Amino acid sequence: EAGVTQSPTHLIKTRGQQATLRCSPISGHTSVYWYQQALGLGLQFLLWYDEGEERNRGNFPPRFSGRQFPNYSSELNVNALELEDSALYLCASSLGLGGDQPQHFGDGTRLSIL
């Protein structure tokens, strides 16, 4: 069974640019979650999608947005990039709304802002 896949592995941008990160969940998983892991700050919840709808978002500005496609893959868009957006962005997927189901993570996209 293929795991959660994220692309690209690394992304280098400059301040003010826009970044798009992509995630393919495990087959059969309908929920996709996005997290930001910045140095020293642990995992910060960004967004949760299920069945194509945004279900919840964390305490991030509106320039962080995303969507989920009919095949349950997802993309995260970050507009007007700032230096502090440099981080590892992790995508996770789980089976629907089952709260007892673990989230399974991809290896992340390392976003570096110059």
Encoded one letter per residue, x for contact with another protein by CB under 8 A and - for no contact, window 2-31 reads --x-x------------------------x
**CB of residue 109 to another protein, shortest distance in Å:** 10
Number of residues that bind another protein (CB under 8 A): 23
**CB of residue 99 to another protein, shortest distance in Å:** 5
Binding to another protein (CB under 8 A): which residues in 46-105? 48, 55-56, 90, 92, 97, 99-100, 102-105
Distance of CA 12 to the CA centre of its chain: 17
Say which DSSP state 39 is in.
T
DSSP 22-83: EEEPPTT--EEEEEEEETTTEEEEEEEEETTEEEEE-S--TTEEEEE-TTS-EEEEE-S--G
- Burial label for 70, CB within 10 Å (0-12, 13-18, 19+), is exposed
**CB of residue 16 to another protein, shortest distance in Å:** 27
**CB of residue 88 to another protein, shortest distance in Å:** 9
Say which residue the tokens 């700050």 belong to. Answer: 41
Binding site residues, another protein, CB under 8 A: 4, 6, 31, 33, 41-43, 45, 48, 55-56, 90, 92, 97, 99-100, 102-108
